[in-house]
Amino acid sequence: MLKNMENEEKEKEEKIKNNKRALLIALTLALIITTVAAQTLYNFYDSTQACRRQNTGTWTNCLGIYPSACPNDRLGCNDGTVETSSTTTSAATGLNMTDFNSSELYCDQITYVFFCYEWWANGATTTCTITVSNESGANPTAIVATCPGTTANPGVQCINVTATKGWTCENFFGPSGQRAVATATLYRSGGGTRTISYDVFAFNITYKKAPKVTLISPANGAALNYPNITFQCNGHYNVNLANVTLFYNYSGIWAANETISITGTNYTANFTKTLNPTNIIWNCQFCGVDGNCKFAPANWTLTVIDNTSPMINSVSDYPDPVQTGQNITFVANVTDDFGVSVVQLEVNGTNYTMIKNTSTTWYYVYNTSGLSPGTYNYTIYANDTSGNNATPITGNFTVIQTLTPTIYTDKATYKNCSNTIYYKISVFDLNDQPIDTALTNTILDAVNATVMTENVNTGNGGTGVYLGVFPIPGGYQSGNWIIKAMSGSVKGQKTINVS
Ligand SMILES: [Ca+2]
Ligand SMILES: [Ca+2]
Ligand SMILES: [Ca+2]
Ligand SMILES: [Ca+2]
């Protein structure tokens, strides 16, 4: 029977206050203040589910109605409404009571258990016991061995039986489990009928509540071959939930990773994380607005594996053909589900480590000085952070002989003459290949600044001879002059002297 709710509320508040006071003192005294989860205590008063009485050695139904409220429940309230049992012989009499509340789903921990009773007999009794069991009646432990008096005096007695049994929430709460049972057994002393009256025969439990937490996915022990993983868990409570936190040891240390503020009494949380291959354990902690927090009963394990090879999506090389001594740049596009570790280029029997440019692009600039004209194969290799190898990709490129425009001048030294110099330059392709020629005569001053450009010829498709005339600006009448000839990326230059 539930006690008057108002009184229960007051007692609950008083216990909370005392609890907070004790906590404050403990924290003040402690040199090192660690995290102390706020826990609210709850009281549970007898919710008798079943009652049987023993009359002259035979078990039979009780007088009251169980479960029900007082006074139909005759055992839960100190109200003078009593159960009775009797014996007319030397056979035993007594009472057997089972006590639980299946609708309370959020008991987290039993804090205290008291057994309260008030009984009396109409005459002398002997060999009296009250036992308690946390196994639905099995393995009872005697907590009372004193026979009742013949009046109600001294009133309700409560015995602290917290340490008598290893009480669990299931003994008193939830849909199923081994239940708490109390049993009285008495015998008459002398002759005649002995009737025993029981006004109170009940457990009184103080317990802590917490949300119920369930881990949903990835399933315990899962091995997943992808980096983006959603951890899903559910919490429910009889008061609103405040937040849920994902905990795991991904960094090597068990720690909170992310907390989500939530509302309502039932919440399914999703935490999506990008992980590297690893073995982790994880759990979710839900907290109610009453400050009570709870993890799922057991951590789950997860193995993140990478057994998928990286992909070399494309390779390129430029310029191709490349002239001897010039650079050729190799580019590879490589992707992986977790991460590309190394991309290598093999040219002419030597491996070169390519350089990461973007998340998927790797390059290497290779100088062809060591290569004779000809066609060469190259191969790109890649592996990921778990050591999986990509299928190599092969390409080729051609090295051609260097084309250096050769500059001929008609004189070794030029004389300044009225600030005008006549010059004659010839440019030849050594292989007599068609080339796009851009011939410039660029005069550089002492600080390497261009002072004049003229006589540009392009696209004649072959070798040629170019003649030009240029004036020399004031202040630059003498010194070394550089003439440059360019053909694509190939260039030649020559220095002439003006005196
Ligand atoms: Ca009473
Ligand atoms: Ca009563
Ligand atoms: Ca991979
Ligand atoms: Ca090529």
- Residue pair 145/74 in contact (Cβ under 8 Å)? The answer is no
What whole-number distance in Å separates Cα of residue 182 and Cα of residue 142?
Answer: 9
Report CA(151)–ligand 1 centroid distance (Å): 10
Looking at the CA of 320, which ligand is closest? 4
- Residue pair 384/336 in contact (Cβ under 8 Å)? The answer is yes
Report CA(396)–ligand 4 centroid distance (Å): 5
Q: Which residues of 464-475 are buried (b: 16+ CB within 10 A; e: fewer)?
A: eebebebebeee
Residue 30 pLDDT? 33
Report CA(12)–ligand 2 centroid distance (Å): 23
Report CA(455)–ligand 2 centroid distance (Å): 122
Q: What phi and psi values does residue 369 have, to the nearest 5 degrees?
A: -50, -35
Residue 152 pLDDT? 84
- Residue pair 384/339 in contact (Cβ under 8 Å)? The answer is yes
Record the tokens describing residue 197, joined without a space: 């009256």
Residue 381 pLDDT? 98
What whole-number distance in Å separates Cα of residue 135 and Cα of residue 165?
Answer: 10
Report CA(290)–ligand 2 centroid distance (Å): 34
Residue 32 pLDDT? 32
Fold classification of 311-400 is Immunoglobulin-like (2.60.40)
pLDDT in 10s for each residue of the chain, 499 residues:
333 334 444 444 444 444 444 333 333 333 333 333 445 677 777 688 999 999 999 999 999 999 999 999 999 999 999 999 999 999 999 999 999 999 999 999 999 999 999 999 999 999 999 999 999 999 999 999 999 999 887 899 999 999 999 999 999 999 999 999 999 999 999 999 999 999 999 999 999 999 999 999 999 999 999 999 999 999 999 999 999 999 999 999 999 999 999 999 999 999 999 999 999 999 999 999 999 999 999 999 999 999 999 999 999 999 898 988 889 999 999 999 999 999 999 999 999 999 999 899 999 999 999 999 999 999 999 999 999 999 999 999 999 876 565 666 666 676 766 655 555 555 555 554 444 444 444 454 444 334 334 334 444 444 444 445 555 555 655 666 666 655 554 555 666 677 7
* Cα dihedral: 340, 346, 352, 357 (round 10): -40
Report CA(123)–ligand 4 centroid distance (Å): 113
Class of domain 5-9+40-209: mainly beta
Record the tokens describing residue 150, joined without a space: 């013949």
Report CA(82)–ligand 2 centroid distance (Å): 5
Looking at the CA of 383, which ligand is closest? 3
Report CA(202)–ligand 2 centroid distance (Å): 10
Looking at the CA of 76, which ligand is closest? 2
Report CA(206)–ligand 1 centroid distance (Å): 22
Report CA(192)–ligand 2 centroid distance (Å): 26
What whole-number distance in Å separates Cα of residue 249 and Cα of residue 280?
Answer: 6
Residue 43 pLDDT? 75
Report CA(55)–ligand 2 centroid distance (Å): 19
Looking at the CA of 397, which ligand is closest? 4
Closest listed residue to residue 283, CA positions, set 218, 209, 208: 218
User: For ligand 4, a single-atom ion, which residues have Cβ within 5 Å?
Assistant: 317, 320, 397
CATH for 212-304 is 2.60.40.650
Looking at the CA of 118, which ligand is closest? 1
- E-strand ranges in 173-277 read 180-188, 194-209, 212-217, 222-224, 228-236, 241-248, 255-261, 266-274
Looking at the CA of 71, which ligand is closest? 2
- Residue pair 203/76 in contact (Cβ under 8 Å)? The answer is no
* Cα dihedral: 175, 170, 14, 33 (round 10): -120
Closest listed residue to residue 204, CA positions, set 379, 316, 66, 78: 78
Looking at the CA of 81, which ligand is closest? 2
Report CA(169)–ligand 2 centroid distance (Å): 25
Location of each CATH 2.60.120.260 domain in the chain: 5-9+40-209
Residue 204 pLDDT? 93
Location of each CATH 2.60.40.650 domain in the chain: 212-304
CATH 2.60.40.1930 fits 406-498, yes or no: yes
What whole-number distance in Å separates Cα of residue 11 and Cα of residue 42?
Answer: 9
Report CA(196)–ligand 2 centroid distance (Å): 13
Residue 406 pLDDT? 60
